[in-house]
Structure 1
Amino acid sequence: MTADTGGREGWRQGWARRLAALTGWRRLALAAFCGGLAALALPPLYLFPLLVPAFAVVFCQLGGARNGRQAALIGWAFGSGHFAVGLYWVGIAFLVDAERFAWAMPFAISGLAAGLALFPALAFWLTFWVAAKSRLTGPARVVAFAAAWLVSEGLRGWVLTGFPWNLIGSVWAFSAETMQLSSLGGVWLLSLITVIAATAPAILAQPALRPGRAYAFVCLALLLPAGSWGYGAWRLAEAPAVGTAVVEEVRLRLVQPSIPQKLKWRRDLRAGHLRQQVRMSLAPGHEDRTHIIWAETAIPYVLSMEPVLQRELAAIVPPGGYLIAGALRVLPEQPDGPIWNSLYALGSDGKIAATFDKAHLVPFGEYVPLRALLGFTKLTAGSRDFTPGPGLQTLKLPGLPAFSPLICYEVIFPGRVKSASAEAPRWLLNVTNDAWFGDSSGPYQHFASARLRAIEEGLPLIRVANNGISAVIDSYGRVIDQINLNDRGIIDAELPEAAEAKTLYSNAGNWLYLVELIICTCVIFVLRRFA
């Protein structure tokens, strides 16, 4: 070893020791800072190189934990910073009705971040426990940390109905090529290689490792995202050209009215909002459309109780086609009973051909958990909590390929966007309303999740927002056309075809998540034995 090499290694090891030796508030503050830094890699900024200092530094800190409690606190601080920066936009919803809810905004952001941070805390604790029991160091410990992170993301997507928003694999949603690996192993596989690549440089500061092996592992880890891009480039090169594989005789019109959330439910404006969407639907070119699609709760009335409105809206429905739109639903015989956030298919005869009720409701937005105890009311209009629907369905309408409807954030759940018991859908329809979150990161993050679901399932996805990002996305996650956040407009497009071959993830679903964890366990065993 030359003196220059030894000096460089001594510098790195010195910094690693200082990071590991931090205690008290300094340790937690640095971990929280690293978590916030990592959040800048998420949509819409995509500053993914920042993941390396963020994860490498906090991994060095983890090396200084003397027990599981300290490891969990480091992870909790990292997660608190990560979710506070990544989900700050949630607080904007509390300003829509500021007189009633603005006071709760800081509590909502800090409480959500602190609660979700329990999952990274678990990942750090698991890493410490496994490393202590198995005496893991170097590359084996890095892979164990990535596997523990994957466990925490999986649990976050399931516990208490789940909230798999901003899974770390979504940092690659800035291009279609970098996302294609999700067709093999879902966003979970992207998350796994991301954490390995971002954490690996930390082992260069560990004195017990042979420099040659350490550098080889770091180079291999950093090549994982490059290999993912290479696979994506190859897969897209084999795919049909953008916009060429379409369903014949299906011509859609998507309507994004961009109605501010503060005005959306005002009684004196609701009729005007409806007329605005009717005018947009009847804009030139309407005569060539077969189906019109509006956003979540685009119809600001309980449509199931409005037969006259149903007949009036039938005037914009193309002959033999449908208006597919969101609206509230109640049972006519129980107008004060259960209420659903629903999607309707209205035919040209003015009759409702099909409905779908949102099953995955947003806590505090659509219902209040422990309402009697908390004494809190939901953020959305009306005093009643919504009732969850029966679950995922495949809707079949004459003249349309079967599709899986998804309302709002139902699209963020990997492996849970289509019914396993019904006929396989040929496309996904996501109607949403991101106007709640203003000009923030939230709508871009929501859109990135939707694109990932299209790639995972090998199905095109049509996305219609009141405000947000409305788009036509093909089965490879490529955006054929879109309306940007805060823009008002329409998209006239043909429906893309589903991919010719089903993806591996579409066939196996979240069983692949477990397979990935098993493979990680095998890799850890090999690295522990031979590294």
Structure 2
Amino acid sequence: MVHPGRSADCGGAAVVTGWWSFAGLVVLLAGGLHAWALSPAAAALFPGAPAVFQTAALLVLAGVLSPRRTPRAVGALSWLYGTVWLIGATGWMFVSLHRYGGLPGWLAALAVVLLCAALSLYFALAGWLWARWRDGRWWRDALAWGGVWLLAEWARAILFTGFPWGASGYALIDTPLAGLAPWLGVYGLGAAWATAVVASVWSWRSADSGLASRLAGLAVGLVLAAVGALAGRPFTEPQGAALSVTLLQGNVPQDEKFMAERQGAMLRWHAEQLLSARTDLVIAPETAIPLLPFQQPPGYWDALVGGFPAGEGRHALVGVPLGDFERGYTNSIVGLGGPARHADPEEAGGPYRYDKHHLVPFGEFIPWGFRWFVRMMNMPLGDFARGPLVAPSYRVKQQRIAPTVCYEDLFGEEIAARFRDPAQAPTILANVSNLAWFGESVAMHQHLQIARMRSLEFQLPTVRATNTGATVVIDHAGRVTDRLPGNTRGALVAEVQGRQGVTPFAWWAARAGLWPALALAVLLIAVGRGRARH
């Protein structure tokens, strides 16, 4: 048996035995702590608790990545940390694959583990590169670590359509660091804090660091928090009068959503709520009406359209699938109450229509080579057509509302594309979702954190109408102002104040997507690499 403190010094064989060493166990626990920081249990303890636990996990990881470890060992430990982190953060996928998809439990669990292990290869590469390039001076090593951390999160967000759920920046929402979100976005925010955390460890561990240098390393995090607090100035301002909104939460169990004998009651409830609402805007969740227009009961859609006459001032956004076999299908939102009153939402010149752009792999499109896997699942899945990246906003009075469907609000850089023209930029973000696929898991809490981060990045309010939760109103500072209890049926009536303006993140992401983040990662690595000493 190789001694734990020397497990990584003996090449590839020692790396393998090191998996069972003390270092491997510590990294495994640290990855679990990082995942737990993104759970509702952590958030319920005290304000800022998620950031505290994530910081603790990163401190442990920084302590384990000793300068004595080879690049291969650092890559392996980074991979283990990332794999456990992502399994804990996205394990809710098991519910949809097993309970609703019909996959055997062992196969559903294996699919989740393999996906997380594959996504963690980005972190393995980041750790390996850092160990190859580390300079030996704590501040250079910290900068290089921040660069490779940002590179790994960038790759997870971009490559193969991206799956950045559980990014580290989401744990920092309720801290002074959140003031950096309108400047850097969630990935830059997470990388900045990762840099500060490792600097505090490595400045004390470096053999050539004096007391002043060690205190400087500890001060990096404090300085970053102070900068975040000072940087959080307003880039947006109130626009027009506040809107009154009604947000519907049907609480339809996923296994009943497509049962013909249960659909009648579900359709009646949503129609009654839509037509009885007396607010400026009423929003029904993703696929609140789960039937294509030609599958709906006769007269059902006509009644909805007729209930929102043009010029009356009442509007609705309704989640409904559209399309047919020949033209393809879309996961869409239809706007009612505008000037166009055609009964058919498919008809040119008809009601406002938003088609989901960023589709869910396996759920809404089948990646090349994986059709065999989808055929094993008992889900109403298929290949959906994509909507345009830059979609027009839905106008209600003086507000421009930017809809997204469920998973789409994970991609702030794609929402930013709508801000290129400030005169047409959204004043309110709106998300419709259906998380019933994932049961009573952490997904509901995590999706709420994602929506709060988008409000911080753009300094705009967000309204969310969901099937099971979280149905909320979020203000421009990322604070939840109104909320329905999860897993209940009801309607949330509230007011939301739209805002106009463009944050720095919205400005640069609208023009270049996440490529500036990649450039920043390369710059940090270049500065931190120095004259790499192996």
One fold, TM greater than 0.5? yes
Equivalent pair of 1:278/1:316 in contact (CA under 8 Å): no
Q: State the alpha-carbon separation in 2 of the partners of residues 327 and 371 from structure 1.
A: 29
Write the deviation string for residues 173-231 of structure 1: whole angstroms up to 9, x where unpaired.
246x5422101111123212221233234325525132313422332123145325533
Code of the aligned partner of 1:268: E
The Cα shift of 1:383 comes to 5.1
What is aligned with 1:146? 146
What is aligned with 1:471? 472
Higher deviation after alignment, 33-42 or 408-417: 33-42
5 Å matches for 1:19-418? 23-26=18-21, 27-44=23-40, 45=42, 46-63=49-66, 67-97=70-100, 99-100=102-103, 102-131=105-134, 135-174=135-174, 177-203=176-202, 206=205, 208-224=207-223, 226-228=225-227, 230-231=229-230, 235=233, 245=238, 247-248=240-241, 250-281=243-274, 286-287=277-278, 289-303=279-293, 306=296, 308-314=299-305, 316-317=307-308, 319-331=312-324, 335=325, 337-347=327-337, 349=341, 351=343, 352=345, 353-370=351-368, 374-377=372-375, 381-382=379-380, 384-397=382-395, 399=397, 401-418=399-416
Write the deviation string for residues 374-425 of structure 1: whole angstroms up to 9, x where unpaired.
2533868435332222333123446363332211111011321143567322
Q: State the alpha-carbon separation in 1 of the partners of residues 112 and 331 from structure 2.
A: 25
Q: 1:16 to 1:453 in 2, by over 3 A?
A: farther
Percentage of identical aligned residues: 26
Higher deviation after alignment, 516-525 or 412-421: 516-525
The two structures have a TM-score, normalised by structure 2, of 0.83
Q: State the alpha-carbon separation in 2 of the partners of residues 99 and 158 from structure 1.
A: 30
| DSSP 3-state at the match of 1:83 | helix
The Cα shift of 1:42 comes to 1.9
Aligned residues: 498
Q: 1:342 to 1:228 in 2, by over 3 A?
A: same
The Cα shift of 1:136 comes to 3.2
Q: Could you tell me which runs of 5 or more consecutive residues in structure 2 were left unpaired when the two chains were aligned.
A: 10-16, 43-48, 346-350
Higher deviation after alignment, 442-451 or 33-42: 33-42
Q: 1:139 to 1:419 in 2, by over 3 A?
A: closer
The Cα shift of 1:74 comes to 1.5
Larger RCO: 1 or 2 (CA < 8 Å, sep 6+): 2
The two structures have a TM-score, normalised by structure 1, of 0.84
The Cα shift of 1:84 comes to 1.2
Equivalent pair of 1:454/1:461 in contact (CA under 8 Å): yes
Q: State the alpha-carbon separation in 2 of the partners of residues 187 and 68 from structure 1.
A: 28
| DSSP 3-state at the match of 1:391 | coil
Write the deviation string for residues 491-526 of structure 1: whole angstroms up to 9, x where unpaired.
222332214x42111111245524643663576379
Q: State the alpha-carbon separation in 2 of the partners of residues 207 and 384 from structure 1.
A: 54
The Cα shift of 1:159 comes to 0.4
Equivalent pair of 2:469/2:486 in contact (CA under 8 Å): yes
Code of the aligned partner of 1:324: L
Write the deviation string for residues 457-504 of structure 1: whole angstroms up to 9, x where unpaired.
2322221111121122222222221223223322222332214x4211
| DSSP 3-state at the match of 1:144 | helix
Equivalent pair of 2:183/2:504 in contact (CA under 8 Å): yes
